[in-house]
Amino acid sequence: MKRVLTCLRTALGALAFTFAALPSSATVITVNGDWTAGDPTLSPRPNRNGVVATCAAPKAYAGTLGGAWSYDIHTFFNNGPADCITVTHVANVPNASLFVMAYEDFDALSAATDYLGDGGSSGLPISFSINVPAFSSFDLVAFGAVGLGNYEFTVEGRNVILGNGVPLPGTLALVSLPLLAIGAGRRRRIVRSAS
């Protein structure tokens, strides 16, 4: 029993080291894009109900309104423990129609499915936040009036990266430390038992 406790303490120590070694400051990614006549459109378009999603108070999907809007999908990955991700509308030229919505995995045929949150309205400045599970991808969908304008928004989180998420080698090494500690403890126990 004493060996099991020692092994458990070693594993917990390695786990504490793993999370202490992960970045504590936020990473900010700036996304620049534009809507063109060739972009896909969604009709009816998402409704903006004025309610801002926060990590403390997630919101329900607000439904749809008439009319078609262009959209671009930007995929991100939370390359660490569960995190509160903040999205901020930065610039929208020449119009003020930017409306960013967050999804676990956006499906244009079912826009309510996998919905995580949005800023409640279009334009500037708007920030909202969403909870993203550990080591998972999420989509930010930039909606705007059909064929009009450029946009910019930022994404902020402790371990957020652009893309669909192949964990970085350093992160994989840090996450595997507790498993290595458990394996080493078991190996010592087996070797001692055989002697």
DSSP codes joined into one string, 121-181: SSSSS-EEEEEE-TTEEEEEEEEEETT--EEEEEEEESSEEESS----HHHHHHHHHHHHH
Comparison of pLDDT for 191 and 40, the residue scoring more? 40
Determine the Cα–Cα distance for residues 50 and 48; give it in Å rounded to an integer: 6
Residue 194 lies in a domain: no
Q: How many CA atoms lie within 13 A of 88 on its CB side?
A: 9
Structure tokens given for 167: 């964990």
Q: Other C-beta atoms within 10 Å of 56: how many?
A: 8
CATH classification at residue 30:
2.60.120.380
Residue 14 lies in a domain: no
Residue 183 lies in a domain: no
Digit-coded pLDDT (tens) for 24-55:
578 999 999 888 888 899 999 899 999 999 99
Residue 144 lies in a domain: yes
Q: How many domains does the chain have?
A: 1
pLDDT number for residue 185: 61
Give the list of residues 6+ apart from residue 36 with CB closer than 8 angstroms, or none.
Answer: 70, 147
Dihedral in degrees, nearest 10, Cα atoms 50, 51, 53, 58: -150
Residue 155 lies in a domain: yes
Determine the Cα–Cα distance for residues 179 and 147; give it in Å rounded to an integer: 51
Domain span at 49: 26-164
pLDDT number for residue 88: 94
Residue 148 lies in a domain: yes
- Whether pTM > 0.85 for this model: the answer is no
Digit-coded pLDDT (tens) for 107-147:
999 999 999 999 999 877 889 999 999 999 999 999 987 66
